Amino acid sequence: MKFLRLLLVLVTFPIFAQQGGMWIPSMLKGMNESEMQSLGMKMTAEDIYDVNKSSLKDAIVHFDGGCTAEVISPKGLLLTNHHCGYGEIQSHSTVEHDYLQDGFWAKDMASELPNPGMVVTFIVSIHDVTNTVLEGVASLNTEADKQKRIQENINRVQTTFPKETWQENKIKTFYEGNQYILFVTETYKDIRLVGAPPSSIGKFGSDTDNWVWPRHTGDFSMFRIYAGKDNKPAEYSKDNVPYTPKHFLPVSLDGISEGDFTMVFGFPGRTQEYLPSFAVEQIVNTLNPAKIEIRDNALKVQDGFMRKDQAIKIQYASKYASVANYWKKWIGESQGLKKSNAIQLKKDFEAEFQKRIAQKGKSAEYGNILADFEKNYKAINEYTLARDYFIEVVLRNTELLSVGFKLYQLEQVYKTKGEQAFDDRKTNTINSLQGFYKDFNVNVDEKVFEKLITLYGQKSPLIPEEFKTMNYEKTTADIYKSSKLTSYEGVKSLFKGDAAANFKALNKDKGYVLVKKLAENYFNNIAPTYDRINLEIGALQRNYMKAQLDLFPDGRFFPDANSTLRITYGQVKGYSPNDAVYYQPVTHLEGVMEKYIPGDYEFDVPSKLLDLIKNKDYGQYAENGKMPVCFIATNHTTGGNSGSPAIDAHGNLIGLNFDRVWEGTMSDIHYDPEICRNIMVDIRYVLFVIDKYADASHLIDEMKLVHPKK
């Protein structure tokens, strides 16, 4: 194994990480398979993906389009993260039955809770359709025409590619438009909640511990897939039956040790590993700092209110967590990019790239790529920044403005599509706001508004003159005194009568008038230029990717994540975040006790767990008298991999992926095997909680427990 690694180091340019990557499961034969086996895997590529017989991939689902989940019993039992099932757990909760606080365990199948609208998707087969999608494209002249033709081809192939009636075809682009792959999928629509630990286990450490190692969170929840009597997808019905999977993952009781092979199978959302240095500079120096500052301001205001008022705490908990999640990630990402010298490494690579173009006589094809990148990133800088300000301030973090924007879109429907289209959409939009206002507090939002509109006016490029000099305090007070957008009743009162009356009333509302000015400024003065340059950057990125594949035939290129099924693999491994500091790869329940703060909303521990710890009542799940909780490895994961199974050398479940370590969050842009680690819950902790904490051993009985090391 050492030898093979050495060989790889010798033949590849140092910029290419010797580990990492998110690979397409149907294309592992060759380099990946031998690398995985050299790391300790005992399976073949066909055990992971096979079209003709069942394989590991048949146990993996895309969980409601966001996270990943896996089938772990012959009766369609699904495992995913607590933070992935959070919305469903919350939706079944009431003051009397607060499942977020207390957990939920269905005592039998009849007690499992349906979740209307929720789906999981299996990948049936994977096909390279690049040639068909690119038919007739090369001869077209403009980028816009090319994209149009590609879209037409995609639509045609998606409708004509052979599939069963209950299946779907979906084409996605890989390597920035250099490869197109079709997925035949099967989507199940009756998904029921089976169990969830209390947040004090499933979300232990909450925002303070988020993106941090050492970690002690039991971030899991359980669902079940139900199917029609023919085992095919069916709408919810109480007559549906538990789904019989083509494959389910056996669960290993033998645990992990440093150096063990692990792989993570799931649906990573988005990475940008092949950006030029100019783009990374823009992220580190301009975009991340602006977005972090905006969220920092919004979060501080919300936190101030949440700490003083329990009702606001409940209203804003979920929103706060989601805004804080990426705020914290961007901070870690910027630090990591700087510390790992990512920009300089990219520049070194670009120098080598330029040299090889000359050596191989490819100047005509690739000679201008980098210079064109530089020019375009300069030209787009202000527009990207202005766009981010608009997204973060108007669409994401000021609630009155984001409601206003929805109403602005409604007015556009009226203006462009007429009264009928408006009427069709109006009821939906207004109804959807009811739930929104349940968790809205006008005093919180007024303070957020004042902070963010000030930042916006003072710092965003490309905004109307009047916003630069306005009295922000007075504007805020004026708007929150009179605007109807501050309550659900207020919004409804604007939409009485016919469309003409609605928009007359709306256009007198001071809050609406302000949103509309910002939206029009965005659509007239920012979006058109942004879109035009961005299209050019997309074309350059495609050619740059092609050039890299061409000029570095020995390179280790994997396609950027795009919410399709991928495999990433590595080994259980600690890391050294700073001089003289080394982090072990496994945490234990002892660490929960070290962090325990009675009554604290992040670090409280439920009393039953305290008892189990005191009595060391760990059943068959402990190792040398200690209960493992989480572990880390060198798998290259990203958002969307949450809920993904961690799988051992033989194909057994050993853990559940849910996060990455702070020092390695830059892995979406620059993967560094020295410090990038994914964080998983040890499956033995999951089993312990189900069995000993929740007394739900009937769920354990459904699973297939194995001892691969004995």
Tell which residue, 295, 321, 333, has the closest CA to residue 203: 321
Q: Which stretch binds ligand ARG (CB under 6 A): 202-210, 452-460, 479-487, 497-505?
A: 202-210
Q: Is 564 in the site for ligand ASP (CB under 6 A)?
A: no
Q: Which of 55, 73, 206, 642 is catalytic?
A: 642
User: Which of the following is catalytic: 83, 247, 588, 636?
Assistant: 83
| Helix, strand, coil percentages for the chain (3-state, nearest 5) | 50, 15, 35
Give the span between the Cα atoms of 649 and 44, in whole angstroms: 10
125 binds, among ligand ARG, ligand ASP, none (CB under 5 to 8 A by kind): none
Q: Could you tell me whether strands 261-266 and 705-706 are parallel, antiparallel, or unpaired per DSSP bridges?
A: unpaired
Among 180, 274, 658, 693, binds ligand ASP (CB under 6 A): 658
642 is catalytic: yes
Residue 277 or 678: which CB sits closer to ligand ARG?
678
The residue type found at 628 is P
Contact partner at residue 637 from ligand ASP, ligand ARG, none, CB < 5 to 8 Å by partner kind: ligand ASP
Count of other CB atoms within 10 angstroms of residue 65 = 14
Residue 595 binds to ligand ARG (criterion: CB under 6 A): no
Number of residues this chain uses to bind ligand ARG (CB under 6 A): 10
For 37-43, the CB contacts below 8 A with 24+ separation are 38/1, 38/4, 38/5, 39/1, 39/261, 39/569, 39/570, 39/571, 40/1, 40/259, 40/260, 40/261, 40/571, 40/649, 41/261, 41/263, 41/569, 41/649, 42/649, 42/650, 43/649, 43/650, 43/651
| Cα–Cα distance for residue pair 630/656, rounded to 1 Å | 9
Q: What is the DSSP letter of 559?
A: P
Residues 616-645 binding ligand ASP (CB under 6 A) are: 637-642
Q: Cβ–Cβ contacts within 10 Å for residue 9, how many?
A: 11
Residues 95-154 contacting ligand ARG, CB under 6 A? none
Cβ within 8 Å of residue 235, ≥6 positions away: 189, 190
Q: Which does 640 bind (CB under 5 to 8 A by kind): ligand ARG, ligand ASP, none?
A: ligand ASP
Q: Which stretch binds ligand ASP (CB under 6 A): 9-17, 171-179, 657-665, 689-697?
A: 657-665
* Closer Cβ to ligand ARG, 83 or 189, answer by number: 83
> What kind and span of H or E run contains 174?
strand 167-174
The nearest distance, CB 103 to ligand ARG, in angstroms, is: 17
For position 215 contacting ligand ASP by CB under 6 A, the verdict is no
Distances (CA, A) of 168 to 43, 152, 184, 233, 235: 30, 18, 6, 12, 16
Q: Is 297 in the site for ligand ASP (CB under 6 A)?
A: no
Alpha carbons 567 and 23: distance in angstroms, whole number:
5
Is 642 a binder of ligand ARG (CB under 6 A)? Answer: yes
Our finding on whether 179 is near ligand ASP (CB under 6 A) is no
441 contacts ligand ASP (rule: CB under 6 A): no
Q: Which does 12 bind (CB under 5 to 8 A by kind): ligand ASP, ligand ARG, none?
A: none
Question: Counting contacts by CB under 6 A, is residue 659 touching ligand ASP?
Answer: yes
Q: What angle (nearest 5°) sits at the alpha carbon of residue 389, between those of residues 380 and 299?
A: 145
The residue assigned the tokens 């009485």 is 496
Nearer to ligand ASP, 324 or 369 (CB): 324
Residues in the chain: 710
Query: Exposed, middle or buried: residue 82 (CB in 10 Å: 0-12, 13-18, 19+)?
Result: buried
Active site residue 206: no
Q: Which is nearer to ligand ARG, 181 or 679 (CB)?
A: 679
CB of 88 to ligand ASP, least distance (A): 15
Residue nearest to ligand ASP (CB): 642
Q: Which does 327 bind (CB under 5 to 8 A by kind): ligand ARG, ligand ASP, none?
A: none
334 as an active site residue: the answer is: no
- Alpha carbon separation from 93 to 102, 103, 108, 223 (Å, rounded): 10, 10, 19, 16
Q: Which does 210 bind (CB under 5 to 8 A by kind): ligand ARG, ligand ASP, none?
A: ligand ARG
Residue of the chain from 64, 176, 207, 273 that contacts ligand ARG (CB under 6 A): 207
Residues that bind ligand ARG (CB under 6 A): 83, 206-207, 210-211, 321, 325, 639, 642, 659
Which residues are the active-site residues?
83, 219, 642
